[in-house]
Amino acid sequence: MNNQTIVVAERSFHNRCYNLLVLKSEGSEPGTNAIGRLVFEDYEQFSQVPPQPTVALSETQCQQLMDSLWDCGIRPAEGSGSAGSLAATERHLNDMKKIVSKTLKVEL
């Protein structure tokens, strides 16, 4: 885990919340691991220069976060479902086509 930053979520049943961890490892030596902390700073709301993001994540880090949130049981509030759900729907439609084909004695 040399020179890596990972972002993960974990469910805390004790505190009834979800913990977000940003962890950095710079090597295998003791003291080379770090955890990110959030610090609030003042900024001008209508400034021409937008504020810097709280955190910038790579695609890999976003995927790690998404996977760990999924493992915690968090699902999108809206959307058309997962790939597994889509595959199940496709199988169901194929089954229905076979039933209709046999019932109506037509080839689909």
Same domain, 56 and 26: yes
Hey, which bits of 16-89 come out as E strands?
Answer: 17-25, 33-35
Whether residue 62 is found in the same domain as residue 105: no
* 18/58 same-domain check: yes
Percent of the chain exceeding pLDDT 90 equals 38
Q: Is 22 within 8 Å of 38 (Cβ atoms)?
A: no
Residues spanned by the domain of 107: 78-108
Tens digits of residue pLDDT in 29-47: 777 889 999 999 898 888 8
* Shared domain check, 11 and 59: yes
**Domain match, 66 and 36 both:** yes
Cα 7 from Cα 77, distance rounded (Å): 21
C-alpha count within 13 angstroms, C-beta hemisphere, residue 4: 9
Query: Does one domain contain both 25 and 68?
Result: yes
Q: What total number of domains does the chain contain? A: 2
- CB-neighbour burial class of residue 99 (10 A; exposed 0-12, middle 13-18, buried 19+): exposed
The pLDDT tens digits of the residues spanning 46-99 come to 888 888 888 899 999 999 999 999 999 888 876 656 667 788 888 999 999 989
**What's residue 35's pLDDT?**
92
Specify the 3-state DSSP secondary structure of 15. coil
Q: Are residues 6 and 28 in the same domain?
A: yes
